[in-house]
């Protein structure tokens, strides 16, 4: 076995281990999402969130009727199909000027 073959074998094993680790980590997240409790959007939901640790419910599925703020979006491709856009929350991180790369 030549040193080049050993290098290729070692790097192949290292990449395989890395990708398997990433796969297992994402598989655990998917399993947690699939096992998430299903809650109804009703008057009891704010009390349930307030009683939770940190006032946060990790990985829950909310079921209920959604009303659009203005008008519902209609599909151009499927007649009778409507949807709404979720309100987005944007968190901006503090930008620091990097003089070496001359970028924020």
What's residue 81's pLDDT?
A: 87
Mean pLDDT, to the nearest integer, of 60-81?
A: 85
pLDDT > 70 fraction of the chain, expressed in percent and rounded? 92
Q: In whole angstroms, what is the distance from residue 16 CA to residue 49 CA?
A: 41
Q: Which helix (H) or strand (E) holds 61?
A: strand 61-63
What's residue 89's pLDDT?
A: 64
In DSSP notation, 1-44 reads: --HHHHHHHHHHHHHHHHHHHHHHHHHHHHHHHHTPPEEE-STT
pLDDT tens-place string over residues 11-41: 999 999 999 999 999 999 899 888 888 888 8
Burial status of residue 103 (CB atoms within 10 A of its CB: 0-12, 13-18, 19 or more): exposed
Mean pLDDT, the chain, integer: 86
Q: What is the pTM for the complete model shown?
A: 0.47
pLDDT at 73 over 80: yes
List the beta bridge partners of residue 38.
61
What's residue 90's pLDDT?
A: 64
Contact 61, 37 (CB under 8 A): yes
What's residue 11's pLDDT?
A: 97
What Å distances lie between residue 21 and 3, 24, 35, CA to CA? 27, 5, 21
């Amino acid at each position: 076995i030549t040193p080049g073959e050993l290098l290729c074998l070692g790097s192949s094993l290292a990449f395989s281990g890395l990708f398997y680790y990433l796969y297992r980590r994402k598989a655990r997240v998917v399993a947690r999402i699939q096992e998430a409790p299903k809650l109804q959007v009703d008057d009891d939901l704010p009390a349930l969130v307030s009683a939770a640790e940190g006032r946060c419910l990790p990985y829950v599925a909310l079921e209920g009727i959604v009303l659009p703020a203005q008008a519902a979006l209609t599909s151009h491709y499927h007649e009778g199909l409507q949807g709404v856009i979720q309100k987005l929350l944007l968190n901006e991180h503090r930008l620091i000027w990097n003089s070496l790369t001359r970028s924020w």
